[in-house]
Amino acid sequence: MKIIVTGGAGFIGSNFIFYLRKKYPDYRIVCIDKLTYAGNLHTLKGILNSENFRFVKADICDRKAVDPLFAEERPDIVVNFAAESHVDRSIENPEIFLQTNIIGTAVLMDACREYGIKRFHQVSTDEVYGDLPLDRPDLFFTERTPPHTSSPYSSSKASADLLALAYHRTYQLPVTISRCSNNYGPYQFPEKLIPLMIVNALNDKPLPVYGEGINVRDWLYVEDHCKAIDMIIHNGKDGEVYNVGGHNEMRNMDIVKLICKELGKPESLIEHVTDRKGHDMRYAIDPAKIHAELGWLPDTKFENGIKTTINWYINNKNWWESILNGAYRNY
């Protein structure tokens, strides 16, 4: 089996490559990554020169780079992680989100049409469903919840989903889509809530909580997301969307306090800062479909996953310090 993984130098993509390598040592993995600020080749250093692995620095929007690579590699499966992924950056500068997240997805799917594919998997997000009110804990996102986006980021991801479903209907491209809740774990760029708070707390710096910190996210350990994608690419049905989440809703403030406690840092580091524009209140995934159809269930409980994650950041200071001082760009 030959798999192209786009965005494999980022957080979830790299974890997915490690997951694949361990479970299917015979698969050939080709990683395409533009190495934006979020891509870090250092993350892949253990696998870069190994057999059955190839890294290609390329932009998924660049047909002149993507098409010849598909012609040469003839992949069986493409898993598209490559994206601009940070909501706050999308509010500052939407355009690159539209470019990478929408056009890039189309370029990849066009290459799949041209060279044939067994599966194109689009890694989407629960944010395409918008948000849920805090006072209705009985409500969850299902695959039938209509897209209803809040940020340029989530709008670009929803657009890519619609395009993928259209390519399935129009060209019979064997597409699947996963919509996962918030991930956490090793190698997450320290701009996202959990790694930012860990790194700042370790450096005794302020912990910026947007607004009151009562927004709720549904957290999933990254390896459980990788496991879900593995099940979908091998056993999922063409044209289907699968929600992925582990019923682990937490308020931002509770996460930040937990990180302080685990690190032995005072809560006085917490600072309330201006709220995010259009800030989604609550995400909550109903994962009944992927459980019933593919047998997926998460393995890692939050109380264990967060400890593993905190310890990883404690033990891999050089990984995130090279991001803070910019040295990672030279790797």
User: Which residues are designated catalytic?
Assistant: 126-127, 153
What are the structure tokens assigned to 202, written together? 């370790």
Binds 193: which of ligand TDX, ligand NAD, none (CB < 5-8 Å by kind) = ligand TDX
Q: Which long-range contacts (CB under 8 A, 24 or more apart) does 62-70 make?
A: 62/107, 63/107, 63/110, 63/111, 66/32, 66/107, 66/108, 66/111, 67/111, 67/114, 69/4, 69/30, 69/32, 69/111, 70/4, 70/111, 70/112, 70/114, 70/115
Q: Which residue stretch of 32-40, 64-72, 140-148, 279-287 sits at the interface with ligand NAD (rule: CB under 6 A)?
A: 32-40
Least distance from C-beta 188 to ligand TDX, angstroms?
Answer: 9
Least distance from C-beta 18 to ligand TDX, angstroms?
Answer: 19
- Contact between 209 and ligand TDX per CB under 6 A: yes
Binds 217: which of ligand TDX, ligand NAD, none (CB < 5-8 Å by kind) = ligand TDX
- Contact between 294 and ligand NAD per CB under 6 A: no
Residues within window 5-64 making contact with ligand TDX, judged by CB under 6 A: none
- Contact between 9 and ligand NAD per CB under 6 A: yes
**Beta-bridge partners for 121:** 79, 176
What are the structure tokens assigned to 20, written together? 């694949």
Q: Which long-range contacts (CB under 8 A, 24 or more apart) does 325-330 make?
A: 328/40, 328/41, 328/42, 329/37
Task: Please tell me the distance from the alpha carbon of residue 232 to that of residue 236, in angstroms, as a whole number.
Answer: 4
- Contact between 85 and ligand TDX per CB under 6 A: yes
Closer CB to ligand NAD, 117 or 128, in the complex: 128
Binding residues with ligand TDX: total (CB under 6 A): 16
Residues within window 184-203 making contact with ligand TDX, judged by CB under 6 A: 192-193, 196
Closer CB to ligand NAD, 98 or 281, in the complex: 98
Least distance from C-beta 2 to ligand TDX, angstroms?
Answer: 27
Q: What is the CA radius of gyration of the chain?
A: 19
Closer CB to ligand NAD, 301 or 329, in the complex: 329
Task: Please tell me the distance from the alpha carbon of residue 6 to that of residue 81, in angstroms, as a whole number.
Answer: 5
